Structure 1
Amino acid sequence: MMDILLQEDSIISPLGFSTSENIKAMKAGNSGLQFHENLRFQNGGFYAGIIEAALLADNFSIIGDATKFTKLEQMMLLATQSVLNNNQLDLSETALIISSTKGNIDLFGNPQNFSKDRAKLNSLAKIIQEFFGFKLKPIIVSNACISGGLAVAISKRFIQAGKFNNAIVVAGDLVSDFVTSGFQSFQALSATPCKPFSKNRDGISLGEAAAAILVSNNKREGDSVSLIGDASTNDANHISAPSRTGEGLYKSIQQALKESKLSASEMDYLSAHGTATIFNDEMEAVAFNRAALAHVPVNSFKGFYGHTLGASALLETILTKHSLLNNELYPSLNFEELGVSKPLNIIQKIEKKELKTALKTASGFGGCNLAMILKKSFNG
């Protein structure tokens, strides 16, 4: 089977407008989560990772007129441009895969002189397609909070099927009134910056980000990271609550390991979904233990970014890739005392460690679950 390589990437977030800026900020212990006042909320506001609009527009002005594009479009276009800058791709043969859960949904409450049709995901995909001149019809992936990672997995499957050799995967979501109100109605917003897997966790912090990556079967010199196994399984448990037994996530992990021809004992690192809700973190702990992964160093990136919804699994896959390339484990920020019923090996500080393999997981509303196996290759 051909190698499916994760190549150039970009992250646009409150921590920076490139992957390198984001990693530098994480290593400095910085978090994008800040308190945002809003009297509609019980605590007078909420913690979230929100990109400063003026700063975004200033950066976007290098490639286009910010007044012609929504905030989300600017984020996703910037991320895509950064990936394309470093590649000589034939866009007539390169796939474009778009991932978002809500797209420009904020336009329904604040049109900002844009048509409400811009809120449709196919409109978002068309804007990105036409801005850069992609010729193939964009593929849209919107499957709750596994969307960004699932888009990478789908690109792998299409490349292996011979549909194309290169794909740009770009994901993005905003902290909108719709999303914050929804999670508030679940009483799932944390009163403090979120604390994944901690005993005193009380919910999520939201975040917004865009991320993009080139997925390709074209080998290059130097060390690389390949996606060698993936699986997505739905636990069919509840529209918003995960399976208490972790069945869907467990099956996804088992199937991804089977495709990769690796065992749980060969995993060097585990990047979890880790939303810091009571039920999600418990479900993951159960699934990881069922899969014999309790010993593997594990973290959640949500303490740095908040939950970036459809962008989260792609953003975290990119960070997992760089953990492998840098032989570096990043801490699960804000972790205090383990608060799940099963043992986990939580990463609490930056660690240098020889890494070759990693497992990235994600879960979402509707019972969807995703597991991806990444492997580093050493090339001359």
Structure 2
Amino acid sequence: MIVNTACTSAFNALHQAAIQIAAGHQTEALILGVETFNPYALFGFESMQLLAPERAEPLGKDRQGMVLGEAVAALRLTSKPSLADYANPLGVWRVLAYANVVDGTNPTGATEAALLEACQSALRDSGLEGSDIHLIKLQAAGSPINDAVEMAALRRLFEVLPPCVSFKSVLGHTLGASCAAETALLLACLERGFWPQLNYVLEPDADGVVVSSDRPLAAAGVDTVLLVGLGFGGGHSVLILKRHPA
């Protein structure tokens, strides 16, 4: 199956695979996120003046836009984890809920109401409260407007904003592969207790953002994560994962 919903492709593919597994049609699925260099994408984003002249600075005080990246990433989804899977000290991660809200009001940007609706839907389906979320993986690509819209929606949802992280300062925006690549990197960071170190200044009000290797988030304290994926064309995706200990 090929799923192409721009930057939310991997999350939507994972959701489709989960439906097939839940229905008993499959026991396993491999979700591949692939994004290689494409001059049309580069020139297209450049023509819309969405690219940063130097570097991506998610939630940065002087952020100017995104930087494109390339990635190939794989996520394995199974209904029957093996003993080898549980041999990982962190155990395995279970998909608790997924929500996708499409709002094309701004084809190249996020909509605060749509992201809030997606987060609320995912939390409702998972049976969790906002206070149960230990970490948020942001979409934040470095856009002056979209970063602010994303944080505004999350601040409306959470009474106390959990620690957050964005990986686009080190990966760039890998477009169709971004949700797969950033999920894989997030779980690897949790396993090793290491986080990308920033070399730029965050917005003064961007509190609670875990982005520095000087302040690694202890994996033992993170059991539930919420991942945000925002896609060009108006896709607002939210995935909630919960760790099952070994």
Q: Same fold (TM over 0.5)?
A: yes
Distance of 2:226 and 2:156 partners within structure 1: 15
Alpha-carbon shift at residue 329 of structure 1 (Å): 5.5
Provide the C-alpha distance between the structure 2 equivalents of 1:185 and 1:294, rounded to a whole number of angstroms. Answer: 39
SS at match of 2:5: coil
Alignment of 1:302 onto 2:165: no
What is the CA–CA distance in structure 2 between the aligned matches of 1:348 and 1:231, rounded to whole Å?
26
2:50 counterpart of 1:188: yes
List per-residue Cα deviations over 1:294-347 (Å, max 9, x = no partner): 521111100111000000011111122234444x262463441216xx654111
Structure 1, 309-318 or 234-243: larger mean CA deviation: 234-243
CA offset at residue 219 of structure 1? 2.1
Point out where structure 1 has 5 or more consecutive residues left out of the alignment.
Answer: 1-138
Q: Is the 8 A contact 1:332 1:346 kept in 2?
A: no
The AA in structure 2 aligned to 1:230 is: Y
TM-align CA RMSD: 1.7
Q: Letter of the aligned partner of 2:98 in structure 1? A: D
The residue type equivalent to 1:361 in the other structure is V
Contact 1:264 1:291 (C-alpha < 8 Å) held by counterparts = yes
> Hey, what's the Cα distance between the residues in 2 that align with 1:332 and 1:254?
31
2:185 to 284, 308, 319: 319
Which residue matches 2:139?
273
Within 5 Å, give how 1:199-210 maps onto structure 2.
199-210=61-72
C-alpha offsets along residues 218-238 of structure 1, whole Å, 9 cap, x if unaligned? 122321111111110112312
Does the CA-based 8 Å contact 1:289-1:343 persist in structure 2?
Answer: no
Cα separation, 2, equivalents of 1:281 and 1:332:
19
TM-score (norm 2): 0.90
Deviations 1:114-147 (A, max 9, x none): xxxxxxxxxxxxxxxxxxxxxxxxx111001111
Aligned-partner residue type, residue 357 of structure 1: T
Say whether 1:150 aligns with 2:12: yes
- 1:21-40 to structure 2, matched below 5 A, reads none
1:229 aligns with 2:97: yes
* Structure 2 counterpart of 1:239: 107
Alignment of 1:300-379 (within 5 A): 300-326=166-192, 328=193, 330-331=195-196, 333-338=198-203, 343-350=206-213, 351-353=216-218, 354-379=221-246
Question: Deviation digits for residues 263-301 of structure 1, max 9, x if unmatched?
Answer: 111111111111101121011111111111652111110
**Is the Cα contact below 8 Å between 1:299 and 1:332 reproduced in 2?**
no
Identity %: 28
1:188-231 superposed Cα distances (whole Å, 9 cap, x missing partner): 11111110011100000000011112111012232111111111
Distance in 1, matches of 2:194 and 2:125, equals 25
1:169 aligns with 2:36: no
Counterpart CA distance in 2 for 1:154 and 1:335 is: 38
How far apart, CA to CA, are the structure 2 residues paired with 1:251 and 1:152?
20
Secondary structure of the residue aligned to 1:372 is strand
Q: Is the 8 A contact 2:210 2:217 kept in 1?
A: no
Show CA shifts across 1:44-91 (max 9, x none): xxxxxxxxxxxxxxxxxxxxxxxxxxxxxxxxxxxxxxxxxxxxxxxx
Q: Secondary structure at the match of 1:307?
A: coil
Write the letter of the residue equivalent to 1:367.
G
Query: Cα–Cα, structure 1 residues 141 and 315, in superposed 2: closer, same or farther, change >3 Å?
Result: same
User: Structure 1: how far apart are the matches of 2:35 and 2:169?
Assistant: 17
Alignment-derived partner of residue 68 in structure 1: none
State the alpha-carbon separation in 2 of the partners of residues 330 and 153 from structure 1. 27
Contact 2:190 2:217 in 1 (8 A): no
Return the index of the structure with the highest Cα Rg: 1
The Cα shift of 1:348 comes to 3.3
Per mean C-alpha deviation after superposition, the further-off stretch among 345-354 and 191-200 is 345-354
SS in 2 for 1:155: helix
Secondary structure of the residue aligned to 1:170 is: strand
Q: Equivalences for 1:284-299 in 2 at 5 Å?
A: 284-292=150-158, 295-299=161-165
Partner of 1:75: none
* Contact 2:59 2:206 survives alignment (8 Å): no
Cα gap change, 1:375 to 1:361, in 2 (>3 Å): same
**In the aligned structure 1, how far is the partner of 2:194 from the partner of 2:23?**
34
Quote how far apart the aligned CAs of 1:352 are.
Answer: 3.9
Q: Is the 8 A contact 1:321 1:374 kept in 2?
A: no
Local SS of the residue matching 1:262? coil
Gaps of 5+ in 2: none
Whether the aligned pair in 1 keeps the contact of 2:6 and 2:232 (CA below 8 Å) is yes
